[in-house]
Amino acid sequence: MKYVDEYRDLELAGKLAKEIERLCTQRWTIMEVCGGQTHTILQFGIEDLLPANVNLVHGPGCPVCVTPVSLIDRAIAIASLPKVIFCSFGDMLRVPGSTVDLLEAKARGADVRIVYSPLDAVKLAKQNPQMDVVFFAVGFETTAPANAMSLHQAKKLNLTNYFVLSSQVLVPPVCASVLSSADNQVQAFIGPGHVCTITGLNEYKNLAQTYKVPIVVAGFEPIDILESILLCITQLESGRHEVINQYKRVVEAQGNLTAQKLLQEVFEVCDREWRGLGWIENSGLKLGSNYKDFDADLHFEKTSLVEISESAECISGQILRGTKKPTDCSAFGTRCTPDKPLGATMVSSEGTCANYFKFKRFELDSTTS
């Protein structure tokens, strides 16, 4: 299959791994930003092909994982109100809030529905004028244009019963936050290919210059990842810090200008709380002043929530910053599994802990038995 088979070529993978080994003279720590890239790295055993001095750490690019408990609680509180249809992508339903998740709220009678697009939620609002329909907008720059389009459509249709609960986050500020932290170990990034399809490369150029880190914007197949690691190592070994676009078959330097225009019309940049990472300045999107009437956070009265912190055992914040790996967590694979997750990084298929559990558990079991 074009664009898949040639990016899973075993012989080429071996050649790239050999070249990485040949170039690498010291230990380097590289973070892949996207959860989809983490999935590929673990699914295809890419770490096993690399020399021991290439340390891959797994970044905060799983939107489900970084949505804070307080916002999950807010979603559950809104979903539990009478006359509300609460719409979400399926992977948010099992993310633990402080007491229950959305699936449990649904079992208790809340009208929670899985949709495949925010436009499905707009359709529901049109079909159910007596109900308030709320879409839980969770995601990075990649999904924000579809959310913006749903708001644009709702406004055009004069809907007064469609609302968006925004938990949209932005990649460059969280990368800056990782690099600024006192215990940072990251020396290069494998950049987020799909996000850059929308945003283009400019913000990443600023990041690379400010923090003097190489960034290679990459795709999601094994050869994409290996090529990107090679391009990172080549720069690290020669003291360069540029943005290289490895994912040229999809990403254009200027991004998607139509989508960028729509985002500017509908959203405003705001500070956001990230699960495990805390508040990060200018790291999110909220509904702009022309769309305030559609803002679920403003429309629904805030219920007082019991503040319960996350499991004390969970170290997902350190995992998302690249300073720890899931196997450093005492609950990994025992008290915390995908069936009974203690933290969000064990929930999503893009979550680092869930990927370690799926692809590395047996390997780890056999080395410890």
Using CB under 6 A as the binding rule, whether residue 365 contacts ligand SF4 is answered as: no
Using CB under 6 A as the binding rule, whether residue 353 contacts ligand SF4 is answered as: yes
Question: Among 46, 92, 170, 336, which residue sits at the site for ligand SF4 (rule: CB under 6 A)?
Answer: 336
| Residue burial 1-13, b: 16+ Cβ < 10 Å; e: rest | eeeeeebeeeeeb
Using CB under 6 A as the binding rule, whether residue 331 contacts ligand SF4 is answered as: yes
Q: Which stretch binds ligand SF4 (CB under 6 A): 48-56, 86-94, 125-133, 337-345?
A: 337-345
* Residue 284 DSSP SS3: strand
Nearer to ligand SF4, 62 or 186 (CB): 62
Parallel/antiparallel/unpaired status of strands 162-169 and 215-218: unpaired
- Distance of alpha carbon 351 from its chain centroid, rounded? 8
10 Å Cβ neighbour count for 305?
15
CB of 344 vs ligand SF4, minimal distance in Å: 7
CB of 83 vs ligand SF4, minimal distance in Å: 35
Using CB under 6 A as the binding rule, whether residue 313 contacts ligand SF4 is answered as: yes
Rounded to whole angstroms, how far apart are CA atoms 57 and 59? 7
Using CB under 6 A as the binding rule, whether residue 57 contacts ligand SF4 is answered as: no
User: Among candidates 171, 119, 114, which has minimal Cα distance to 146?
Assistant: 119
**Site map (CB under 6 A) of ligand SF4, residues 144-183, x = contact:** ----------------------------------------
Rounded to whole angstroms, how far apart are CA atoms 360 and 42? 7
Contact in structure between 341 and 91 (CB atoms under 8 Å)? no
Q: Which stretch binds ligand SF4 (CB under 6 A): 116-124, 157-165, 290-298, 338-346?
A: 338-346
Using CB under 6 A as the binding rule, whether residue 137 contacts ligand SF4 is answered as: no
Nearer to ligand SF4, 151 or 347 (CB): 347
Using CA atoms, how far residue 287 sits from 72, 100, 148, 227, 291, in Å, is 18, 27, 9, 38, 6
Residues contributing to the site for ligand SF4 (CB under 6 A)? 311, 313-316, 319, 326, 329, 331-332, 336, 341-343, 345-346, 353
